[in-house]
Structure 1
């Protein structure tokens, strides 16, 4: 119910097109989708997964379904984690855990920023925690018999399969995988009588490594990280932001504080943000003593504290300098510059503490009443998360001209240069918020993009040096022969900006397509990167199969044991 309350507008027809979220009718396995261009491979294996799925389903449906799935999994996973760690909290505790996991500023802000694939990874975090903690506890199968070695092996096989599956699902984006791996390693050190800490850590690291192969291999064979872009220049722009009445630490503790002040729900732009944060922290704080006594959940609590304090330190002067130095030394670590997104690591611990609040207060108040009050308080302090964050997250329809222009270029795919030069666009038909150019994810051809971002009047340069050179040629009035020699096949002008002296292949009020005729060879590394994606996909399938097999056999074992014991009970 909560997931649908948040994403209901997305059930309608159309495409998600909001800031970083771009969905198109069809995507293709271009060099850009495989991370083989000068742009850093930040969207792997996400782009490949959508390209494969959109060959069967409309790409807009794929992206919207995955986004809804991610938010739903966050709530369901938090409830399952609470059921495993706090069985005495019952359904009331599970409801509180699910509410805390779904109804919080982190979900709202990442929705408004368009980070749909990050929310899929976010939804996998409580499942990763539950899978690793299950290996650490290694309970007996649903049986009164002694746990035979074969059963323990079967249980471990299913547990490892769960880690593989949820790690691969979180790995739809590199950030999601890094979050999941951190949660898994934290849970691997939890106390328990099951598989050893070393075994659980090794399984977690192995699963994370294989799930990371798509972007690790692309980073190794392409030059997206080494194109001379000033990665450190964006550190200050992407630092966590303080809300009204709260410092940066307080905002992060409330699971808020995204760098983009425009991607914030209205209720977090006033002093009401302080009330909302105190409410959430009160629900969590009541359950913390219970979680500390349970011991197995302590690593998740410690991780939650670190997930709040470390990004806050990253936003200080020394922290900004340290992050910039790290990114300048290792450009591939530019992913860490958005400090607030790491607050997702606090969600499993927050959800468990919320469930534990029911246990803490139950001696004095009925469990159902506690759950109703806690859930209502969390929801009431973020009312505009409902209905797509107040209607801002909704599907839009592309004008017919976009479909026609895409068909013209796809009939003869060749590198495409696009004007204007900005990576972000404002389309009247897509709403007031800016959006990434949809063409790179729509066309069968490579679209040359610089990756430059304009933040607060400051341009943060991207890695697309070739695209930048071509755009300078266009602005200087280069002729067709010179553009073709640079490997440009088409030029697309979005809007009514420039009139170029080039043959027109398609023209409308929304965009104009010019034919140039140049070609550019495909990357020679496509096969190895596709093989790396095959490993990721195999991990996803094998993990799901192992989980399913364990579940079926566990049910079968329970049924056989119960039947076998009935004669004894009758004799007694």
Structure 2
């Protein structure tokens, strides 16, 4: 390869990476300042602690495992708010860049269509709604999807397909025999090349497994794409990377309990203006919480944006489906056949990811899901069906890139046909209409086809990007400023420093959501469980659309009921409560709790918080065996994440025989 070609290849790789970084920064811009992410379900704090709840061993279901444990381990060294913002920014960048790489490898498109794929992956309602809902860790799973598809494709293409008995490869497909020993299948380079895609898949599944839902998203996609011969290895990797929340589910009492069936209707996908439920989902929207919807999607711009997105995707479906490797071709390169099968399976996955959530919003679909969550432990992960629309993103990105390329080629072919027609006639129809100096061959020459095609592709990509971004203009700059950092009062740090004795923490007012003066008008999850060094009891109850979806925290409900009716402090102590935290500046039920607080020992008080010590609190420690098992599961997850990244990176750097 010449130096000029190498420079062009490097530039072609840098442009999508830089474009993805620009979009990610444009979306998360306000978060780059000092402060902490505190919006609905997103809670970042200066420091968190490896409590039982962080390990998923508390009374509530382990929905934030292993993300809470990761922050708890890293935050003593790096500010926890910075960690969360960095993960979110890297996740968005990786989602866009991964879509570009997927389009380049599966479609062999140039830079401009890759930028269209990046735009589809980043600038869409799904990203906006999950940001507004505070699902930063779910977006890490979302970002892993194109990379998971890429790793699965490479695994599939490196696995020789079985051929009928007695069949032989044609001579022109035989592997060369004069390659260096180090690049042979048994050599060091060959071994690295073989295991590199598996390392990449392990890293993808681990990154997606920052939350249980992310693990399911990436795991489903990997199992669909790797092929039957690689299925067993993929299942092993999926179970290993999901070990933190699987072990937490098995070890905690809440993990084996059925979920409240009321959550199915509460979390069902929602129709947007001018669109039915199916149309909203096809446009990558339709989240259950109407308050977590970008403003432009509450108007007819939702219809306009969905029309443009679906139309752009539709232009490339045929190009993605078609391929040179057909089922009737007896001998074809394994990688080429794997590419066609990967593209087709991604399309099927996208269709299923849209149709099933739409069916889940119907009456009979809700009945099926209610039966699942009440009969199958852990099936509560399925109640927010709109989450799984993320599986459509890789196929959407591929189709948009293919459509851009196909339309540009169509326009260029028409231009070429017109040029060929013109060449069969005098190039300048009337010399009298032009100056004599303009009658030269240069003035009448037709531009080279390659250059014209590049210009047409760039113009088509620009139009596609404009059609994708303009209807969703308010996604930029933190979804029009809705996502911004907050600053905690110093009292939180003082409370954490004073909490030096045993016992769990009960919090007043009742409920899990707060409205602090410093957090704005949007309800936010109580930061106490991540801010304090002791386990904070939470009921897990979620207010949705005027109804309450019950949680798994039975002991937390008992403690909250005791406080609200003003029960005796001795009952709190028997329940293992050693501390009561009163959050003064947020609305919520207090009941007769002042009667209970009067029996406690004041420890700290300011305008925002008041901390009380419960006398003679019972000591309730989690069994050391359970914590040890959970710690091993988290270490396994971390090892697969880091080791997979290193293995994949090293195998890509190893020179292979050409």
With the length of structure 1 as denominator, give the TM-score of the two structures.
0.92
Secondary structure of the structure 2 residue equivalent to 1:225: helix
Aligned to 1:446: 535
Tell me how far apart the structure 1 counterparts of residues 256 and 95 of structure 2 sit (CA, whole Å): 36
Q: Residue 552 of structure 1: CA displacement?
A: 2.1
Which residue number in structure 1 is paired with residue 402 of structure 2? 356
Q: CA deviation at 1:413?
A: 4.8
Corresponding residue number in structure 2 for 1:570: none
Separation (CA, whole Å) in 2 of partners of 1:399 and 1:313: 46
Query: Residue 45 of structure 2 is aligned with which of 20, 24, 38?
Result: 24
Paired residue for 2:526, among 420, 431, 437?
437
Q: Who is 2:614 aligned against?
A: 516
1:102 corresponds to 2:132: no
1:470 and 1:168, CA in 2 relative to 1: closer, same or farther beyond 3 A?
same
In structure 1, C-alpha distance between the alignment counterparts of 2:533 and 2:504, rounded to whole Å: 9
Q: Helix, strand or coil for the counterpart of 1:489?
A: strand
Q: How does 1:125-164 map to 2 (within 5 A)?
A: 125-138=145-158, 148-150=184-186, 151-164=189-202
> What does residue 299 of structure 2 align with?
270
Matches of 1:177 and 1:509, distance apart in 2: 42
Distance between the aligned counterparts of 1:506 and 1:145, measured in 2?
77
User: Is the CA contact 2:193–2:652 (under 8 Å) kept in the aligned structure 1?
Assistant: no
* Cross-structure match for 2:562: 473
SS in 1 for 2:266: coil
Q: Does 1:180 align with 2:200?
A: no
Residues 11-160 of structure 1 mapped to structure 2, 5 A cutoff: 11-87=32-108, 89-138=109-158, 148-150=184-186, 151-160=189-198
**Corresponding position of 2:484:** 394
Does the CA-based 8 Å contact 2:503-2:618 persist in structure 1?
yes
SS in 1 for 2:518: helix
Q: TM-score, normalised by structure 2?
A: 0.81
Partner residue, 1:367: 457
Instruction: Tell me what 1:308 maps to.
Output: 354
Equivalent in 205, 211, 234 of residue 204 of structure 1: 234
Instruction: Report the 3-state secondary structure (helix = DSSP H, G, I; strand = E; otherwise coil) of the residue aligned with 1:428.
Output: coil
1:128 deviates by 0.4
* Unaligned runs of at least 5 residues, structure 1: 189-196, 562-572
Distance 2:199 2:550 in 1: 41
User: 1:219-249, CA deviations, whole angstroms, 9 ceiling, x for partnerless residues?
Assistant: 112111345x652121100000000100000
Q: Distance in 2 between matches of 1:520 and 1:307?
A: 47
**C-alpha separation between the residues in 2 aligned to 1:400 and 1:464?**
29
Aligned with 2:471 (options 376, 381, 391): 381
Q: How many residues align?
A: 545
What are the superposed Cα offsets for residues 317-354 of structure 1, whole Å, 9 maximum, x if unpaired? 00000000011001311010001110000000000111
In 2, Cα distance between equivalents of 1:440 and 1:533:
20
TM-superposed deviation, 1:494: 1.0
Deviations 1:37-67 (A, max 9, x none): 1211111111111111112100000111101
User: RMSD between aligned alpha carbons?
Assistant: 1.8
> C-alpha distance in 2, partners of 1:532/1:230?
25
Q: In the alignment, which of 457, 460, 464 is matched to residue 546 of structure 2? A: 457
For residues 391 and 125 of structure 2, the distance between their equivalents in structure 1, rounded to whole angstroms, comes to 14
Is the Cα–Cα contact under 8 Å of residues 59 and 537 in structure 2 kept in the other structure? no
Report deviation, 1:509.
1.8
Contact kept? 1:31, 1:522, Cα under 8 Å: no
* 1:324 matches 2:370: yes
Deviations 1:65-107 (A, max 9, x none): 10111111100100110110111x2101110000000000000
Query: For 2:404 and 2:575, how far apart are their aligned partners in 1?
Result: 66
Contact 2:259/2:379 (CA < 8 Å) preserved in 1?
no
Structure 2: stretches of 5+ with no match in the other structure:
1-21, 160-172, 324-339, 413-455
Q: CA deviation at 1:145?
A: 6.0
Kept in 2, the 8 Å contact 1:38–1:465? The answer is: yes
Deviation by residue 1:414-447 (Cα, 9 ceiling, x = unmatched): 3100011111111121011101100101111010
Distance 2:51 2:532 in 1: 9
Hey, what's the Cα distance between the residues in 2 that align with 1:492 and 1:267? 40
1:344 corresponding residue in structure 2: 390
Tell me, what secondary structure is at the counterpart of 2:143? helix
Q: 1:54 to 1:516 in 2, by over 3 A?
A: same
* Cα offset, 1:153, TM superposition: 3.3
2:312 is matched with 283
After superposing on structure 2, the runs of 4+ consecutive aligned residues of structure 1 that deviate more than 4 Å are: 143-147
